[in-house]
């Protein structure tokens, strides 16, 4: 018997066939046309992309000793969405890592898939957290900056932040070279949604360029040791030293005391990291008389035997009275500098004229930065000639009413030691990576004739052998230099302080190869405040170690 289908049954069949075709079409659309979208969506349930820091370049001294490098560490992160017991997780991690439980709980409560727990922890800290077996907490390896010499040259090197970017000093100035290129890493959550692991790199990070300095770590150590002992002995506020190759401007040591340990910076203020040798400006006192010496010789205004009457120690000038630390009558031109007579120098400039004298202040580039490749250098303060008072002509030549930094003074004495060239100081010899190597070239220009600097050099050598700088003398080594003792201006009193001084000595080792300049300044020493007593012995301590060291280990 033939089976008959009613219209109703046929309608039901047609509906099912239509539904099947719709579902098949939808599946085909999703599988063919939306395949990539849903694959990525599924993958993103398990993977997250995180940046992976490129290693920072190393910093070496001129002989290849390492001053700054990278050290492996770990960073801890969490996925709040899969941290089930947030209170327990926050409590346990806070106890192990000495963190705020409240802040950590707040982070874990965010509607995010990724939060930092703590960056740059040690392997031991990472292992303690791993052993807690906390769901949703993961780790990956990073790098943090490490300074194996600790405090050595810290104010010059500077510091980096948690993200390995330079924040101070050379680390900041050469950050574009030192910084590596970041890579990418995938964070993988397993199927149980309890563990977080790392998959292979997607993009490998690249290390930054290495930097080789002009600094010699041994000379830097001697310099820091010498000013530390002086600050402690004279109960001074602080002190700075610069040792420079006079021929090309290479800085062999740049030291400040007190210093700091760049491996432990959490409690440091920016003031503690200040590179005072280049950032602090001060009235130099009698060290600045070197400008009068060079101006007088250049203008051929005085012979060595010409005499200056020094008024027996007291000389009335417009608006004030000049005093010498000892009363002098007639002094020869050479003796004015040997004995550091304020009155004698003031009378020399009075004879030269303000305009001629000011020309040499500008020629020696006071009032301008030296151009050293470090941040935060002060340019000093030079009053324009048109703003000089009637007193300025007499007190600027003795180092008042003018402000300089120690590096500017060292640069001036280098011009005497190197036969008349003004050099641009620098601290980086080369920058090298896998792809390039850049050697930095010294810059200098002629500003004085050799005959002028030769005569100035002889007079400054007498300052050390038979004048106010005798305590800088080293037996068997020809040294020249100038002392400086400057009263500090006290803004609270509105006048120069009766008790606060800055003691300075800047000099050169004349016959070393290369000739060296060493500048020393000590702020607010007690017991004694004279540059010849406080600062000159620091020069001696450094010079008597550095000269034989260089003789047996040639600078390269």
Query: Would you kindly state where each structural domain of the chain is located, as residue ranges?
Result: 48-72+113-211, 217-552
**pTM to 2 decimals?**
0.85
> Count of residues for the chain?
556
Q: Cα separation of 360 and 353, whole Å?
A: 12
Which fold does the domain 48-72+113-211 belong to in CATH? Answer: Penicillin-binding protein 2a (Domain 2) (3.90.1310)
| CB-based contact 479:457 (threshold 8 Å) | no
Q: Are 342 and 322 in contact (CB under 8 A)?
A: yes
Q: How many CB atoms lie within 10 A of CB 118?
A: 18
Per-residue pLDDT of the chain (556 residues; tens, 9 = 90+): 455 567 777 777 777 777 777 777 767 665 666 666 555 545 555 556 666 677 899 999 999 999 999 988 888 888 888 888 888 888 998 888 888 888 888 888 888 878 888 888 888 888 898 888 888 888 877 888 999 999 999 999 999 988 889 999 999 999 999 998 877 766 655 545 455 555 555 677 788 999 999 999 999 999 999 999 999 999 999 999 999 999 999 999 999 999 999 998 877 777 788 999 999 999 999 999 999 999 999 999 999 999 999 999 999 999 999 999 899 999 999 999 999 999 999 999 999 999 999 999 999 999 999 999 999 999 999 999 999 999 999 999 999 999 999 999 999 999 999 999 999 999 999 999 988 899 988 999 999 999 999 999 999 999 999 999 999 999 999 999 999 999 998 888 888 888 999 999 999 998 888 999 999 999 999 999 999 999 999 999 999 999 999 988 877 6
Q: Looking at 342-449, list the stretches that DSSP marks H as alpha helix, in order from N- to C-terminal side.
A: 342-352, 354-363, 392-395, 406-417
- Which residues is 71 bridged to in the sheet? 144
DSSP-derived secondary structure letter, 32: I
Q: Is 90 helix (H, G, I), strand (E, B) or coil?
A: helix
Partner residues linked to 307 by β-bridges = 332
Buried b (16+ CB within 10 A) or exposed e, 265-287: beeeeeeebbbbbbbbbbbbbbb
Give the active site residue among 179, 223, 240, 286: 286
Cis check for the bond before 257: say yes or no (omega within 30 of 0): no
Q: Is 267 a catalytic residue?
A: no
State whether CATH 3.30.930.10 applies to domain 217-552: no
351 to 343, 358, 438: CA distances (angstroms) = 12, 13, 50
């Amino acid at each position: 018997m033939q089976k008959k289908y009613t219209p109703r049954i046929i309608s039901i069949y047609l509906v099912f066939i239509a539904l099947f075709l719709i579902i098949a079409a939808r599946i085909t659309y999703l599988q063919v046309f939306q395949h990539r979208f849903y694959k990525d969506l599924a993958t993103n349930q398990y993977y997250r992309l995180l940046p992976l820091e490129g290693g920072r370049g190393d910093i070496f001294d001129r002989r290849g000793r390492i001053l700054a490098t990278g050290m492996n560490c770990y960073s801890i992160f969490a996925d709040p969405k899969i941290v089930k017991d947030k209170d327990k997780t926050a409590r346990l991690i806070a106890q192990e890592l000495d963190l705020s439980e409240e802040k950590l709980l707040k982070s874990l409560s965010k509607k995010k898939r990724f939060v930092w727990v703590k960056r740059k922890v040690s392997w031991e800290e990472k292992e303690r957290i791993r052993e807690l077996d906390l769901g949703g907490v993961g780790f990956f390896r990073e790098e943090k900056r490490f300074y194996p010499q600790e405090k050595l040259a810290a104010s010059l090197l500077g510091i980096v932040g948690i993200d390995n970017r330079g924040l101070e000093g050379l680390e900041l100035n050469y950050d574009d070279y030192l910084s590596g290129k970041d890579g990418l890493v995938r964070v993988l959550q397993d199927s149980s949604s309890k563990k977080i692991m790392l998959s292979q790199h997607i993009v490998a990070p690249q290390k930054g360029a290495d930097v080789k300095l002009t600094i010699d770590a041994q000379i830097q150590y001697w310099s820091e040791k010498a000013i530390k002992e002086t600050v402690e002995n004279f109960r001074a506020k602080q002190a700075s030293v610069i040792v420079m190759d006079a021929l090309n401007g290479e800085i062999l040591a740049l030291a400040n005391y007190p210093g700091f340990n760049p491996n432990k910076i959490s409690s440091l203020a920016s003031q503690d990291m200040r590179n005072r040798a280049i950032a602090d400006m001060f009235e130099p006192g009698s060290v600045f008389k070197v400008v009068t010496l060079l101006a007088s010789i250049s203008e051929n205004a005085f012979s060595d035997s010409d005499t200056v009457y020094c008024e027996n120690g007291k000389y009335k000038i417009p608006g004030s009275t000049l005093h010498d630390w000892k009363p002098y009558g007639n002094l020869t031109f050479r003796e004015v500098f040997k004995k550091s007579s304020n009155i004698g120098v003031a009378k020399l400039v009075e004879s030269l004229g303000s305009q001629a004298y000011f020309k040499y202040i500008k020629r020696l580039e006071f009032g301008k930065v030296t151009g050293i490749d470090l941040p935060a250098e002060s340019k000093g303060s030079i009053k324009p000639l048109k703003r000089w008072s009637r007193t300025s002509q007499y007190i600027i030549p003795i180092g008042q009413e003018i402000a300089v930094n120690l590096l500017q003074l060292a640069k001036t004495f280098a011009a005497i030691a190197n036969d008349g060239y003004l050099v641009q100081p620098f601290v980086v010899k080369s920058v090298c990576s896998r792809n390039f190597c850049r050697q930095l070239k010294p810059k200098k220009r002629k500003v004085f004739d050799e005959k002028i600097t030769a005569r100035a050099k002889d007079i400054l050598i007498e300052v050390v052998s038979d004048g106010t700088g005798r305590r800088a003398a080293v037996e068997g080594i020809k040294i020249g230099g100038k002392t400086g003792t400057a009263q500090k201006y006290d803004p609270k009193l509105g006048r120069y302080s009766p008790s606060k001084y800055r003691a300075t000595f800047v000099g050169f080792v004349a016959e070393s190869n290369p000739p060296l300049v060493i500048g020393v300044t000590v702020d607010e020493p007690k017991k004694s405040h004279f540059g010849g007593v406080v600062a000159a012995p620091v020069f001696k301590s450094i010079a008597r170690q550095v000269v034989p060291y260089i003789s047996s280990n040639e600078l390269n």
